Amino acid sequence: MATLEIRGATLLTMVEGADPVEDGLIAARDGRIVYAGPAGGHHGEAQPDETLEARGCVALPGLVNAHTHCAMTLLRGFADDMQLKPWLEEMIWPTEARLTAEDVYWGAMLGSVEMLRAGVTCFSDMYHFAEAGTRAAVEAGIRVCPSGVLLGFLDTADEMLERALEFTARLAAEGHPRVHPMLGPHAPYTCPDRLLRRVADGAAAQGIPIHIHLAETRQEVDESLAAHGETPVAHLERIGLLETPVNAAHCVWLTDRDIEILAERHVGVVHCPGSNMKLASGVCPVPKLLGRGVVVGLGTDGAASNNNLDLLEEARLAALVHKLHDLDPTVVDAGRALALATRGAAEALGLGDVVGTLEPGKRADIAVIDLTAPHLAPGHHLVSDLIYSARASDVVHTVVEGAVVVRNREVVGLDEGEVLRQARARGRRLAEG
Ligand SMILES: [Zn+2]
């Protein structure tokens, strides 16, 4: 039985309503949390396999990046300051057509290393060559929700779906504790109804969720209204896609009726403020969604439209953009922003019973953040400091499934130099065409 203890940190369990715990102890056994509370409240293990001394730090649930395309790290900075449609059609898709499985493996390895160093312990990955991306995540030690990507306008869309269903069935049979498969139709505007219905049937048969982009741009909504006489959300509802669990990225352009549908169907909304700002897509109505009881989590989207996978930064953007948009500094406060990046993102992915808080029985996915840097002093308010001042580089240890994967700011068991060499060479080759 593998045992781990984290001693001395202030604990932010992110359990709703719980206060920070000074001088806390987290004990984990076989990948699961057995205790998270005051040091005096648990006898601990006689001899834990590993102990992390974390005085001067805060320990919180590992951050959950509920929407990204991990291997797009290879296209970071490749095509910036463009409209979404030409960005996708002229730059991203033609370049992605040249990707190999090995490119995706190294791109996903780069993204996994970047996220682990930033305290992100779980990510939802919609991307090509999902087997290669998943293999990288498993080897890097991070938790992953792979969904592949289905582009309905390709001649091979039906074949892609067959392969995706085989892949998810195989993953379910293997039952890796850090892999949570999903199906990933790209978006309503890139997938015909016939394909989306088959996706819904396949997801229901396998008992897995669907991950999709939804209502990202005003153009998408206008085109849906012209083609179907209804919004993208109403359309997915009508064709039956929302009868299985769905988590939907962006959800920027929503009518009140759309918000009702998302609430009634328990759709998990993944807010991606960095990407939405960079592509000038618009602002997801997060305060309104939360007010209506919709589950909302946070995602970075791909590194080509962000341009990093730093979820603390994303939480800061979430806290800031709604204040500016609503001209109200009280909306999406620091506590809410941190909840979006942890508990909310886990719930949006359907993993609310697995990760997202520090509670006995949940998987031991933990971020330990050093609070001793000048930009975090004097330390008036822990949660405010995390959201408005902390940086990915303040993360000192990261634990996934009870295993220490970043120790003292170094990724454990990986040749990071080789990851960077491969990623640079492959990124250059892709950009040159
Ligand atoms: Zn995306």
Q: How many CA atoms lie within 13 A of 196 on its CB side?
A: 24
- Report which residue type is found at 313: E
Closest CA to 292 of 265, 320, 323, 259: 259
250 CA to centre of ligand 1 in angstroms: 8
Tens digit of pLDDT per residue, the chain (433 long)? 699 999 999 999 999 999 999 999 999 999 999 999 999 888 766 789 999 999 999 999 999 999 999 999 999 999 999 988 899 899 999 999 999 999 999 999 999 999 999 999 999 999 999 999 999 999 999 999 999 999 999 899 999 999 999 999 999 999 999 999 999 999 999 999 999 999 999 999 999 999 999 999 999 999 999 999 999 999 999 999 999 999 999 999 999 999 999 999 999 999 999 999 999 999 999 999 999 999 999 999 999 999 999 999 999 999 999 999 999 999 999 999 999 999 999 999 999 999 999 999 999 999 999 999 999 999 999 999 999 999 999 999 999 999 999 999 999 999 999 999 999 999 999 999 8
In the block, which residue shows the tokens 């996903």? 108
The CA distances from residue 67 to 220, 241, 274, 303, 383, in Å, are 19, 19, 12, 11, 23
DSSP type of residue 91: I
Asked if residue 255 lies in contact with residue 222, where contact means CB atoms within 8 angstroms, the answer is no
Distance 305 CA to ligand 1 centre (A): 9
- CA 11 – ligand 1 centroid, Å: 32
How many angstroms separate the alpha carbon of residue 69 from the centre of ligand 1?
Answer: 6
Distance, CA 369 to ligand 1 centroid (Å)? 28
Q: Which of 67, 29, 24, 33 is nearest to 47 (CA)?
A: 29
DSSP 203-260: HHHHT--EEEEES-SHHHHHHHHHHHSS-HHHHHHHTTGGGS-EEEEE--S--HHHHH
CATH code of the region 63-348 = 3.20.20.140
- How far, in Å, from the CA of 74 to the mean position of ligand 1? 15
User: How far apart are the CA of 285 and the centre of ligand 1, in A?
Assistant: 18
Residue 301 CA to ligand 1 centre (angstroms): 5
Answer yes or no: are the C-beta atoms of 85 and 219 closer than 8 Å: yes
Residue 378 CB partners (closer than 8 Å, separation 6+): none
H, E, C per residue of 365-423: CEEEEECCCHHHCCCCCHHHHHHHCCCHHHEEEEEECCEEEEECCEECCCCHHHHHHHH
pLDDT of residue 1: 63
Rounded to the nearest angstrom, the distance between the alpha carbon of 425 and the centre of ligand 1 is: 24
pLDDT of residue 433: 80
- Domain ranges for the chain: 3-61+358-411, 63-348
Round to whole Å and give the CA distance between 244 and 252.
22
Give me ligand 1 centre to Cα 135, in Å: 20
Measured in Å, residue 20 CA sits from the centre of ligand 1 at 34
Query: Which structure tokens are listed for 328?
Result: 């109200």
Same CATH topology for 3-61+358-411 and 63-348: the answer is no
CA of 150 from ligand 1 middle (Å) equals: 13
Taking a C-beta distance cutoff of 8 angstroms, is the pair 64, 399 a contact?
no
CB 382 within 8 A of CB 53: no
Helix (H, G, I), strand (E, B) or coil at 308: coil
**370: CA distance to ligand 1 center in Å?**
31
Cα of 338 vs centre of ligand 1, distance in Å, is 21
- Determine which helix (DSSP H) or strand (DSSP E) holds 64, and give its type and residue range: strand 63-68
What distance in angstroms lies between residue 18's CA and the mean position of ligand 1's atoms? 33
Name 203's Cβ contacts closer than 8 Å, sequence gap at least 6.
182, 183, 209, 210, 244, 245
Q: Which of 248, 328, 315 is nearest to 287 (CA)?
A: 328
Q: Give the chain's largest Cα–Cα span.
A: 67
Q: How many A from CA of 173 to the centre of ligand 1?
A: 28
Instruction: For residue 94, give the 3-state DSSP assignment.
Output: helix
pLDDT for the residue numbered 130 = 97
pLDDT number for residue 42: 82
169: CA distance to ligand 1 center in Å? 24
Query: What spacing in Å lies between the alpha carbon of 68 and ligand 1's midpoint?
Result: 6
Gap from CA of 180 to ligand 1 centroid (Å): 18
**189 — alpha (psi -120 to 50), left (phi > 0) or beta?**
alpha
Q: Which CATH number fits domain 3-61+358-411: 3.40.50.150, 4.10.490.10, 3.40.50.2000, 2.30.40.10?
A: 2.30.40.10
Ligand 1 centroid–CA 433 distance in Å is 23
